[in-house]
Amino acid sequence: MVVVASFSGVLGGAERVLLDCVTRAQQPLTVACPPGPLADALQAAQVEHVPLKPRPLRRSASAIAGMARELRALKPEFTVAWGARAVLAASLEHAPWLAVHHDLLRQPTRAVVRAATRYARGVLSASHAVARQFGGDVLHPGVDLTAFTPTPLPDGPPKALVLGALVAWKRPELALEIADRFPELQVTIAGAPLDGGGVRLPPHPRVTLAGPVDARAALEQHHVLLHCADAEPYGLVLVEALASGRPVVAPASAGPKEIVAGGAGRLYPPGDADAAAEALRAVLADPEAPRAARRRAEQHFDVAASAARFEAALTAALTR
C-alpha cells in the first residue's frame, strides 16, 4: 500500500495539487488525512481515504508524533509525505518515503525539516524557491485547462480579485493600500481564515470581503488577479487565473516570479503599494494581457504534465 499523508484536511492550494495528482495516478494510492473538504473531495473522486485525527495546524512535537503513530499503524509499504508536518511524521515511522514540499519555512523550523528530509528516498518541491530550501526536483503544479477556461471580461469599472486564505502572511491589508492609490479600482478579497485564525481589515468603500468563493466563478467576474503575499511559496491560484485568461499582478519574489512571465501580468517589489497600483494600470490597459495569460498557462502549467512529473518521481523513489 502506498499512502499519501497530509496533515491538513482543508482544500487549499497544496491539497488541490494532492487531489490532482492522486486522481490522475496510474497506480492505486491511498490518502491519509483528517476529515474535511479534502476527504470529501477524495470520496467524490472515489479515491481510497483513511481518516487521521484532526489536529491544529500549528506545529507541535505531540501532533507530529501522533500523526507518525497513526501512519505506522497503517503499515504502508511506502509513504508520500505531503508537506512539512507530514515530512516530520514520516521521518519517525519505518516505511520508506517520498518528501513533497510546498512551504517556505523560517529558522529554526527550516533546519529541522531539512534534516528530516535527508532520510527520504526522493524529494519534490513545488517551486525553485522551495527547492532552494529543501532540494529535490521541481514540480510546478498545473491546473485543469479544460476546467479553467477564458471567459469575456466583465463590464464596468476595473475589478481586481485577491483570492486565498485570509491569513496575515498573505498581506491582505496591502490590497486596501493599493485601492487607495487607484481610485477607479474595485477590489474583492475572497477567502477564509485557517484554523480559527485570521486578520481584521478595516472597512473600505471600494473593497469587498467576500468570504469563501468558487474560484472559477470569481475569476469570471474580475479583470485581474491581485496577489499581495511577500513570499508565496508557489501560488496555485495564480495559475488558475492565467488559465482563466486573467492576468496576474503579484510581488516579484518566490513562486510568483516563476509563474508570471511572457506578458501574462506584472510583478512589483514586495510590499510596494504604489508600484502595485501602477502595475495594475499597465495590465488593465494592455488588451493582449488576457490572451498572454492563457497562453502562459497552456505552455507551462497543464495539470496532466505536472501529475505525470509527480508519478515519475514516485516511481523513481519506489524503485530506488
Model confidence over 97-138: pLDDT tens digits?
999 999 999 999 999 999 999 999 999 999 999 999 999 999
Model confidence over 226-272: pLDDT tens digits?
999 999 999 999 999 999 999 999 999 999 999 999 899 999 999 99
The structure's pTM equals: 0.93
Question: Is residue 189 a contact partner of residue 286, using CB atoms and an 8 Å limit?
Answer: no
Question: Is residue 37 a contact partner of residue 10, using CB atoms and an 8 Å limit?
Answer: yes
Name which of 92, 93, 97, 98 is nearest 124 in CA terms: 98
> What pLDDT score was predicted for residue 320?
79
Name which of 115, 200, 125 is nearest 166 in CA terms: 200
Model confidence over 167-189: pLDDT tens digits?
999 999 999 999 999 999 999 99
Over 70: is that where the pLDDT of 191 sits?
yes
Count other C-beta atoms under 10 Å from residue 261's C-beta: 13
Beta bridge partners of 251: 268
Q: What is the DSSP string of 130-191?
A: HHHHH-SEE----B-TTTS---PPPSSS-EEEEES---GGG-THHHHHHHHT-TT-EEEEE-
Q: What is the DSSP string of 44-105?
A: HTT--EEE-----SS--HHHHHHHHHHHHHH--SEEEEESHHHHHHHTTSSS-EEEEE----
Q: Which domains does the chain show, CATH number per domain?
A: 2-142+303-319 (3.40.50.2000), 159-300 (3.40.50.2000)
Beta bridge partners of 78: 2
| pLDDT class of 195 with cuts at 50, 70, 90 | low
> What pLDDT score was predicted for residue 236?
96
Give dist(CA 5, CA 51) in Å, integer.
10
> What pLDDT score was predicted for residue 8?
92
Q: Dihedral angle at the C-alpha atoms of 152, 158, 159, 162, nearest 10 degrees? A: 110
Model confidence over 257-315: pLDDT tens digits?
999 998 999 999 999 999 999 999 999 999 999 999 999 999 999 999 999 999 999 99
